[in-house]
Amino acid sequence: MYKNINKKISVIGGNGFLGSELLSLMRDKNIKNFDVNNLTEEDSYMDVENIDSMDQLDGSSVVINLAAIHRDDVRPISRYDEVNVNGAKNVCDICEKYNINKIIFTSSVAIYGFAPPNTDESGKPNYFNDYGRTKYEAEEIYKKWYLKDTLNRSLVIIRPTVIFGEGNRGNVYNLLNSICSNKFLMIGSGKNKKSMAYVKNVAAFIKYSIDFDQGIHIYNYIDKPDIDMNTLVSLTRAKVMKKKGVGLRIPYFIGVLFGHLIDIFSKIMSKNFPISYIRVKKFASTTQFNTSISKTGFQAPYSLEEGLINTLNYEFLDDNKDKQVFFTE
């Protein structure tokens, strides 16, 4: 493991959902956060689209790039390339300029698309949207940077599956909220399994990876064991609503038809809706990945069930009127 207690750690995009957890976890480190939004007195402005704003990284030992366009309804589509791809180029150019030899990049399992169950880090890219495409293209840019000096450089690429946790307003929260507000219909058998990642665990692994040696390190991040939809829905209903089972259920083909109809209305009205064909398909499909993280010796501080219970308590049972929220999907 690479140890340097005096290293300066620079985080780009630390004011988002994952970044906020990471900064909270690393208060004991020599760390500086850069972002474009919600800046505190300790933060500094930096835009990965503007390389002139990135000279502040001079003197860094480690750069952690969390900045990304990740929602699946972003317009214009060019925003994915401008931030995810061109941002990666700018990070690499700055690290080259100032001889910064360690980069940690949060990618995504979205690069695999609708992958076969239990796809691991050797899985072939098969992205189906611009988010997955641009995350893959960014990975390739970082790899080219690493290959210029393999003896001294360290590149960590972390591909989390869907991240959930307290304060997140993404797909997992939308699902939990619909269940807890009696607006949920189970689509299909519910036997499909989902790989998920609790935000506090992902942040802990990023912190852990700071000490990785030179070399290239690529890991899917998943909190095992995977959970099926029947279990997730039943756990949520039992914890929050004191009810058993999954409630109402409709066949998969009806859900798909409804998703297509919503897409048509969305185009006609130029308005985004919480339901779409792709979201129905994603919900009802098995999205299951494997990871080789155990080989690193990392142990997640929370189990997947503990993460879900923490999230349910925070969002639906505890009094958190002034809680911070992050809209991620």
Active site residues: 131
Contact of 68 with 48, CB cutoff 8 Å:
no
- The gap from C-alpha 218 to its chain's centroid, in whole angstroms, comes to 15
Task: Report DSSP state, residue 83.
Answer: I
Amino acid at position 100, single letter: I
In whole angstroms, give the CA distance from residue 289 to residue 226.
Answer: 9
- CA angle in degrees (0–180, nearest 5) for 32-36-38: 80
Nearest CA to 35 out of 62, 56, 60, 58 is that of 56
Would residue 239 be called left, alpha or beta, if left means φ above 0 and alpha means ψ between -120 and 50 degrees?
Answer: alpha
Our separate counts of H helices and E strands in the chain read 10, 13
